[in-house]
Amino acid sequence: MKRQLLIALAVLGTLVVVATVVVTGVIPVGSVILRLDQETYLPDETVTLTIRSLRTGAVQFGDRFEVQRYEDGDWVHVPLDRVWLLWLGVIGPGRAFRQSFVPTEHFFDEPEPGRYRVVKEVQVGMIHHDAPRETRTLVAEFRIEG
């Protein structure tokens, strides 16, 4: 009986924490993730990035993202040969968004083998109109093989 009471109290405590998070929108910083579909690509393969929201609030973002290459200990901007559309996307709680590019088609110069990363800024906040928003920079690394 004592053990069942302890289990019931633990479950009740967990439910209170989850309910508080849902009502207040207080979620840990790592609540929006950026992932790539692979770790390594050939220059002509499609790189697909996915933004996933683990929040109770909205995640806003645009079409733009940056690609950087690791050279001599620093991350260097890779010029992209693409006309970017200016639009704003929003994903709600538990939702995801996918976006793709092909290095040989979208890099201004021919892709070289090496270490790269995608950098994308998003804004997070509650779904309510005029709610304060926080900008977060999401990063996902990948390699291009020759």
pLDDT digits (tens, 9 = 90+) for 41-74: 999 999 999 999 887 777 888 878 999 999 999 9
Tokens of residue 83, six digits: 């006309």
Q: Tell me the domains of the chain and their CATH numbers.
A: 29-144 (2.60.40)
Cα–Cα distance, 116 to 67 (Å, whole number): 7
Cα–Cα distance, 18 to 21 (Å, whole number): 5
Asked whether the beta carbons of 101 and 47 are under 8 A apart, the reply is yes
Q: Strands 74-77 and 32-36: what pairing?
A: unpaired
pLDDT (tens digit, 9 = 90+) per residue, 99-146?
999 999 999 999 999 999 999 999 887 655 666 778 889 999 999 998
Nearest to 112 by CA among 138, 143, 82: 143
Please tell me which residue, 99 or 16, carries the higher pLDDT value: 99
Cα–Cα distance, 57 to 32 (Å, whole number): 11
pLDDT for 84 equals 58
Which CA distances in Å does 111 have to 43, 100, 144?
A: 6, 16, 8
User: CA angle, 7 as apex, 4 and 13 as ends, to 5°?
Assistant: 140
The neighbour count for residue 43, using CB atoms within 10 Å, is: 16
- HSE of 41, CA atoms in CB hemisphere, 13 A: 22
pLDDT for 55 equals 72
Instruction: Tell the residue number behind the tokens 């933004």, with chain if given.
Output: 51
